[in-house]
Amino acid sequence: MKEKIYKGIFAVLAFASLAFLMGIVIVLFKEALPIFQKVKIGEFIFGRYWYPTYSPAEFGILPLIMASVWVTFGAVLVCVPLGVGSALYLHELAGDKQRAIIKPLIEILASIPSVVYGFFGMVILTPFLQDLFHLPTGLCALNASLVLGLMAVPTVCSLADDALNYVPKSFREASFAVGANRWQTLTQVIIPAAGSGISTAIILGMSRAIGETMTVLMVSGGAAVIPHTFLEPVRPMTAAIAAEMGEAPMGGLHYHALFAIALILFLITFVFNIVAEMISRRFRIKLGLSG
Partner 1 sequence: MKVLSRVLTLALVTLGLTIPCYAEKIVVEGSTTVLPIAQKAAEVFMNNNSGADISVRGGGSGVGIASLIDGTCDIGNSSRSIKDSELDKAVTNGRSPKANVIAMDGICVIVHPANSIGALTKKQIKDIYTGTISNWKQLGGPDEKIVVISRDSSSGTFEAFGALALDGSKVRSDALLQASNQAVASTVSRTPGAIGYVGLGYVSSSVKAVDVDAVKATKETVLSNKYPIGRPLFMYTNGEPKGLAKQFIDFILSSEGQKLVEEEGFVGLK
Which positions lie near partner 1, rule CB under 8 A?
49-54, 63, 122, 126-127, 130, 136-139, 217-218, 221-225, 232-233, 235, 239, 242-244, 246-250, 254
Could you tell me how many helices (H) and strands (E) the chain has, helices first? 14, 2
Nearest distance from residue 207's CB to partner 1, in Å? 24
- Distance of alpha carbon 136 from alpha carbon 55, whole angstroms: 31
- 88 or 224: whose CB is closer to partner 1? 224
The residue among 84 and 234 lying less far from partner 1, judged by its C-beta, is 234
Residue closer to partner 1 (CB basis): 47 or 195? 47
Report the distance separating Cα 194 and Cα 175, nearest Å.
15
Nearer to partner 1, 79 or 139 (CB): 139
- Separation CA 126–CA 183 (nearest Å): 39
Q: Which lies closer to partner 1 via its Cβ, residue 209 or residue 253?
A: 253
Helix (H, G, I), strand (E, B) or coil at 247: coil
Nearest residue (CB) to partner 1, 60 versus 197: 60
- 181, with CB counted inside 10 A (0-12, 13-18, 19+), is exposed
| CB distance 107 to 154 below 8 Å | yes
Report, in Å, the least distance between residue 137 CB and partner 1. 5
Rounded least distance, CB 51 to partner 1, Å: 6
Q: How far is the CB of 113 from partner 1 (least distance, A)?
A: 17
**CA 268/CA 280 separation, integer angstroms:** 18
Minimum gap (Å) between residue 233 Cβ and partner 1: 5
**Nearest approach, Cβ of residue 208 and partner 1 (Å):** 22
Indicate if the alpha-carbon torsion angle 59, 62, 65, 68 is positive or negative: negative
